[in-house]
Structure 1
Amino acid sequence: MSPDDWHLTEDLEDFLARAGDFLQSRPALHTVPLTVTEALRTRGADAYGADTPVFGLLERAGAVRAAFFRTPPRRLTLTPLTPEEADDLAARLAGLGQVLPGVNADHDTAASFAGAWRRHTGALPTLHERERLYRLGTLTPPEPFPEGRGRVAGERDREQLMLWHREFVTDIGGTPAGDNSSWADTRIAHERITLWEAPDGTPVSMAGRTPMVAGQIRVTPVYTPAHLRGRGYAGAATVEVSRAALAAGAAEVLLFADLANPTSNALYQRIGYHPIADFAVYDF
């Protein structure tokens, strides 16, 4: 194979027509490409406040073997690749003069591409984050369960959701958007954020979920303000949103956890999530 075996396009419909079945063949491992391309299909590039998205696929013997997407200015996201495939893609993108801020993929693929990108461009990769992907088995509410109740976020919660989303993005090392009102409006309209309320009705934690694509729903984001942590609120919100995902008919309910946070990883396993793959994010 050669770098030219990679087909690049800015046409989402063309990409999905050719790579859609491949992405849906492994819905858990491909959860991010599936959910991002679905958002782009239904809402356009404004879904991510991005410049023109770029997509790519690798075909071999008439079948798609791998794919990628990028919503600038964000990092490149890859499906699993062999080291040779990662090197060929790096060579192709470097040859086109692409400037990448980083890569996000399963651990081995991300490491292979980061090394290849350094060879082809001289850019120094720095490990930004390691994540673990979990799949829900039997949902098991934690003990003790905090007092309060879960409810779906509505229009009256709009300002709260916008604030918490900005705080969440900052917590994970991102840069909050200047205006995240569309993020809140979309999730309110489609009832995709669950709040956990204290007994007095005060929201104390939130957990969101993606739309269902290829039978999978991913729980994201999960956020509790710093001064309210350690009281079981995040676990309660995650249980409630997981129930909502199951009620919506999801065959697989997934979530990512930062491996630098042992508390959240232990929590998700206690409530029934099982690890299935490790991912890595590199900055260049």
Structure 2
Amino acid sequence: MKFQRYKNAKDFATIATPFLEKNEDKFSLFLGVLQAINDGKYEDPYMATIEEEGELLALFQMTPPHPLNIIFVNENRMEECIELSINELIQQSISINSIISVKEWAYAFAHRWQEKTGQSFSVLMDQGLYRLDKVDESLEKSPGSWRYATHGDAPLIEKWYSQFEKDTGLLNTAPAEIKKRVKVMLDAKEVFLWENQGQIVSMMKKSRPTANGVTVSLVFTPKEERKKGYARTMVAAGSKELLKEFQFCVLYTDMLNSTSNKIYQEIGYQKLIDSVHLGFEQ
């Protein structure tokens, strides 16, 4: 059993992609980020595998400051893989602020990491990963209509981006960086807006497209417009539009937010796996 770190993204992709594409919905985050790494969108990514006699056992990927994403390909070998990977990460002096993975896998890794390093961990977000193949057409719609965001909407989207981070407990991104990210989103026509009587009341974003699927993210409605069904209608309409190009949509939800989980299921999203984002004390 060998832990192999990769400096070349194409070499790592050659090993990882066949497995990821067979599980394109469950591991869309890992696959989407890997595609972005290949496109040169991240500097100094961490990429590693555990293999044995040509068999892939585990995958590791991190684009600091984002979490280490962990996949155990062979669950029967998980404990061995955890032990080997932690030893290697410590030896290589790799700093890990947080991890994201299938819930069971993440907790198993985190407990052993804590034993080895003394770093305690906490839940940053208890997540559910959902998949949609068809929007429920019987869904009651809120008044208004959707459109793609334009560069004229940038100031509002930048403001909502910051508010979204605060609401979800994410690290606060500097305003200048948010401005850059929003420009990239708008250039790529990735942001959908719901508008009612000339007022923008909700948004969502298209993220990480893969061969057959796409992720819905950055779903946000300002507090004064909540409880009016706008988010549900926006996600339903945006997802329906995306399904014209892709076979399925996926999205992550905060499992502690019963409202969001309920509205996504009403649209037609069905849970694939339980996931968790765990943070380590530094």
Relative to the length of structure 2, the TM-score reads 0.92
Helix, strand or coil at the partner of 1:218: strand
> Hey, which bits of structure 1, 4+ residues long, moved more than 4 A?
none
AA partner of residue 47 (structure 2): F
1:177 Cα deviation after fit: 1.8
| RMSD across aligned positions (CA) | 1.6
Deviations 1:169-192 (A, max 9, x none): 121111232121222122212211
CA distance in 1, matches of 2:119, 2:107: 14
In the alignment, which of 249, 272, 278 is matched to residue 274 of structure 2? 278
Determine if the alignment matches structure 1 residue 175 to structure 2 residue 167. Answer: no
- Is 1:213 the counterpart of 2:205? The answer is no
**Which residue is equivalent to 1:69?**
61
Matches within 5 A, 1:131-210: 131-141=127-137, 143-178=139-174, 179-198=177-196, 200-210=197-207
Which residue of structure 2 aligns with residue 129 of structure 1? 125
Long gaps (5+) in structure 2: none
- Asked if 1:40 is matched to 2:32, the reply is no
Secondary structure in 2 matching 1:247? coil
What is the rounded CA distance, in whole Å, between the counterparts of 1:201 and 1:236 in structure 2?
Answer: 16
Residues 1:235 and 2:227 are matched in the alignment: no
Aligned to 1:48: none
**Residue aligning to 1:260:** 256
Residue pair 1:106, 1:277 contacting (<8 A) in 2 also: yes
Q: Where do 5+ consecutive residues of structure 1 fail to align?
A: 46-50
**Does 2:51 align with 1:59?**
yes
Amino acid paired to 1:22 = F
Normalization by structure 1: what TM-score?
0.91
Aligned to 1:26: 23
Greater CA drift, 234-243 or 211-220:
211-220
Cα deviation 1:233-281 (Å, max 9, x = unaligned): 1011101220121112x12211111000000001100110111100011
3-state SS, counterpart of residue 93 of structure 1: helix
Q: Match of 1:236, as an amino acid?
A: T
Q: What amino acid maps onto 1:58 in structure 2?
A: I
Aligned length: 274
How much identity, in percent, do the aligned residues show?
A: 25
Distance 1:106 1:257 in 2: 14
Q: Is the 8 A contact 1:204 1:228 kept in 2?
A: yes
SS of equivalent residue, structure 1 residue 180: helix
Larger displacement relative to structure 2 (82-91 or 235-244):
82-91
TM-superposed deviation, 1:40? 2.5
Q: Is the 8 A contact 2:28 2:208 kept in 1?
A: no
